[in-house]
Amino acid sequence: MLDVEKNVAHWRKGATEAWEAADDLINKDRRILFGLFFVHLALEKIIKAHVWRVKEDAPPRIHNLVRLAELAGLTLDDTNKNILSEINEFNIEGRYSDLLMPPPTLAEARRYMQRAEGVFQWLTSLF
């Protein structure tokens, strides 16, 4: 028998840790690309916690935030859907740096993070 609550707690904790790492990477270390990769990771983990909660089973090993939100039964307005779609880009760029265009500036990264933070807080508040 799967312990759903234990798994939800595990993914939520991982999401918080990834968000803190993203903040440190962007705002302290100025490592923009890695920081935005961790923004994606934080959102992925909090959404996968929702998948656990709703499906009572492990989420699939995919990284598309919009698709994961659909699997979790989350209702996304256009703004949140657009933000998740934007942040999806940093999962790919973080993994495949040879495909990169120039990384965002620090100011751009902070704007991405600010927009993503609203979604992250909303997703966290749903528990």
Residues 6+ apart with CB under 8 A from 106: 26, 30, 32
Asked if residues 72 and 51 have their Cβ atoms less than 8 Å apart, the reply is yes
The crossing angle, in degrees rounded to 10, of helices 78-95 and 32-55 is: 120
Q: What is the mean pLDDT of each run of 10 residues along the chain (127 residues)?
A: 91 98 97 95 98 96 97 97 96 65 90 98 97
| Residue entry with tokens 């699997």 | 71
Residues 6+ apart with CB under 8 A from 23: 35, 113
The pLDDT value recorded for residue 96 is 64
- Which CATH code of 1.20.120.330, 1.10.10.60, 3.30.420.40, 3.30.450.370 fits the domain covering 4-125? 1.20.120.330
How far apart CA 84 and CA 43 sit, in angstroms, is 8
